[in-house]
């Protein structure tokens, strides 16, 4: 047994070395890797049985589709593949297809060949907010990044968003061994239940202790927690989020919030582990490695083999997070194999995208936001008391009017990879939406306010400036309509959701502030 693991480790390390060498020898944004995560797991004797990513191929030879998007203008769909075998997503194909409208991610394809694709999660113990009780689908442009220098998009999960596959092939069941990892945005999380990726119930309901084994990331403390204030990587084993052997507190599981986080959970009969690290540098640390929790029902495990993303096993839909890639394996991976995967992830080169902070939307700077619609190019987002409108502002305007149209850019209150806008002349008050209308309100410190006041910048939908997606309603963007300001979808039941001129109305030029 020991020699088998040593051989597997040697193969895994060699695979990682091939990857790094190949990338250095073939520098460039569209390069194909010699070996990727699932090649390394296979070399270690624990092959991938599910492999999901919207950012890149997870096999060196993979040349298929990564995910599918659907645009709101005509409900047409498009599969998004890679720039080259083993390479990064073809984000330009998505940008072209979604130009002038909004898109959602409808399918995240399984690269393993087993057909374990993730699609819109159905209702279960809890119902989602979409038609028929299904969960929402993620906005396709809400989580821009670069990988190896090429643009890509992650899966931005706001509360109510979720993906699932209840009919899988090859996923561990019962007490069978398995491993899994996910690359996540370590700054995007909340205390809702439950931002998970991994093994869950096949009927979307709580079937009792031990019927799940999934990666959880967030700062909820209801069931379990680790050191500090969170967030933590924990295991969702159903009816418990576990940070170690104890049911609630385990000091060995640290708060961890790298911008790109590598999270690992793995389990086998009466043995499991939590590992994690910075997906941009360094290695993985082990936060727990030992027997199953000291609570009845988790030894032996009763895993059912569904796959979830962004939700709990019973379709709990209160969580937030961002997912870039993840896999599930057959068998319990060695630490050496996982360390080699970490080296390959670091070599892949995850970086924040310039558009994720809007270029000129630099936290601490002061800006004004000018409309780009032909009718209204002298109008700026402004406030009058608590009302938020667009107002004509010029060099001849009164000083108060100029100040009302000036905003201090802050790190997003609910997600530091996005932004919030504090009034230049009303300290502590921010742009926030309420019933889809924008207001200027004082920050009350609540999680709801933080979410309502956070907006994620993207390239302007009409090709100009910047569009600002709501962090908690990511298919809705800041829009002016009849000189008032809303978060609006492209088409919908509300008058301000009208499709006509939507792309123009949600595109804003980030301008020199009227009041510095």
Catalytic machinery residues:
238, 314
CB of 145 closer than 8 Å to CB of 183: no
Name residue 25's beta-bridge partners.
none
Residues 6+ positions from 273 with CB-CB distance below 8 Å = 264, 265, 266, 267, 286, 288, 289, 290
* 3-class state of residue 176 by DSSP: coil
For residue 441, the tally of other CB atoms under 10 A from its CB is 20
Q: Which helix (H) or strand (E) holds 275?
A: strand 271-278
What's the angle, vertex CA 208, arms to CA 299 and CA 225, rounded to 5? 75
Peptide bond into 461 cis (omega under 30): no
Comparing CA positions, the residue from 111, 57, 280, 44 lying closest to residue 183 is 280
For residue 23, the tally of other CB atoms under 10 A from its CB is 20
Look at the block and give the residue holding tokens 């993985």. Answer: 284
Name residue 78's beta-bridge partners.
69
Question: What secondary structure, in 3-state letters, does 309-371 show?
Answer: ECCCCCCCCCCCEEEEEEEEECCCCCHHHHHHHHHHHHHHCEEECHHHHCCCCCCCCEEEEEE
What's the angle, vertex CA 113, arms to CA 112 and CA 114, rounded to 5? 95
For residue 516, the tally of other CB atoms under 10 A from its CB is 9
* 3-class state of residue 226 by DSSP: coil
CA distance 179 to 195: 18
CA distance 40 to 347: 14
Q: Give the count of alpha carbons within 13 A of 377, CB side only.
A: 6
DSSP, residue by residue, 102-115: -EEEEEE--TTSS-
């Amino acid at each position: 047994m020991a020699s088998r693991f040593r051989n597997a480790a040697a193969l895994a390390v060699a695979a990682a070395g091939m990857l790094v060498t190949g990338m250095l020898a073939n520098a460039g944004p569209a390069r194909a890797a010699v070996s990727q995560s699932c090649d390394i797991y296979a070399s270690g004797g624990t092959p991938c049985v599910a492999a999901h990513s919207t950012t890149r191929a997870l096999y060196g030879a993979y040349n298929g589709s990564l995910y599918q998007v659907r645009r709101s203008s005509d409900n047409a769909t498009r599969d998004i593949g890679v720039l080259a075998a083993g390479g990064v997503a073809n984000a330009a194909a998505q940008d072209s297809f979604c130009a002038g409208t909004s898109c959602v991610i409808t399918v995240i394809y399984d690269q393993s060949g087993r057909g374990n694709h993730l699609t819109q999660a159905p209702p279960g113990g809890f119902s989602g907010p979409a038609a028929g009780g299904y969960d929402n689908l993620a906005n396709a442009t809400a989580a821009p990044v670069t990988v190896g220098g090429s643009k890509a998009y992650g899966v931005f999960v706001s509360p109510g968003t979720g993906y699932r596959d209840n009919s899988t092939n090859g996923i561990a069941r019962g007490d069978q061994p398995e491993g899994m990892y996910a690359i996540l945005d370590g700054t995007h999380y909340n205390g809702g239940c439950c931002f998970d990726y991994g093994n869950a119930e096949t009927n979307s309901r709580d079937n009792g202790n031990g019927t799940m084994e999934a990666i959880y990331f967030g700062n909820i403390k209801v069931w379990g927690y680790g050191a500090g204030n969170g967030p933590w990587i924990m295991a969702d084993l159903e009816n418990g989020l576990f940070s170690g052997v104890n049911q609630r507190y385990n000091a060995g599981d640290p708060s961890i919030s790298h911008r790109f986080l590598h999270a690992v959970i793995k389990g086998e009969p009466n043995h499991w582990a939590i590992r994690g690290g910075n997906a941009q540098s360094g290695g993985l640390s082990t936060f727990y490695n030992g027997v199953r929790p000291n609570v009845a029902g988790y030894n032996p495990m009763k895993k059912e083999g569904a796959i979830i993303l962004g939700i709990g096993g019973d379709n709990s839909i209160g969580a937030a997070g961002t997912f870039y890639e993840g896999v599930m394996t057959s068998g319990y991976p060695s630490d050496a194999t996982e360390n080699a995967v970490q080296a390959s992830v670091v070599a892949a080169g995850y970086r924040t995208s310039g558009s994720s902070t809007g270029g000129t939307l630099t936290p601490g700077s002061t800006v004004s936001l000018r409309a780009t619609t032909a009718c209204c190019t002298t109008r700026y987002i402004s406030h009058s008391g608590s009302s938020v409108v667009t107002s004509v502002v010029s060099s001849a305007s009164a000083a108060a009017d100029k100040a009302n149209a000036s905003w201090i850019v802050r790190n997003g209150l609910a997600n530091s990879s996005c932004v919030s806008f504090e009034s230049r002349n009303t300290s502590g008050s921010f742009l926030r939406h309420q019933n889809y209308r924008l207001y200027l309100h004082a920050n009350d410190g609540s999680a709801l306010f933080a979410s309502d006041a956070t907006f994620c910048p993207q390239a302007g939908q009409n090709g100009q400036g910047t569009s600002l997606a709501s962090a908690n309603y990511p298919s809705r963007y800041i829009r002016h309509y009849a000189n008032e300001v809303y978060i609006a979808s492209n088409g919908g039941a509300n008058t301000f959701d009208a499709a006509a001129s939507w792309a123009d109305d949600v595109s804003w030029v980030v301008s020199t502030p009227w009041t510095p």
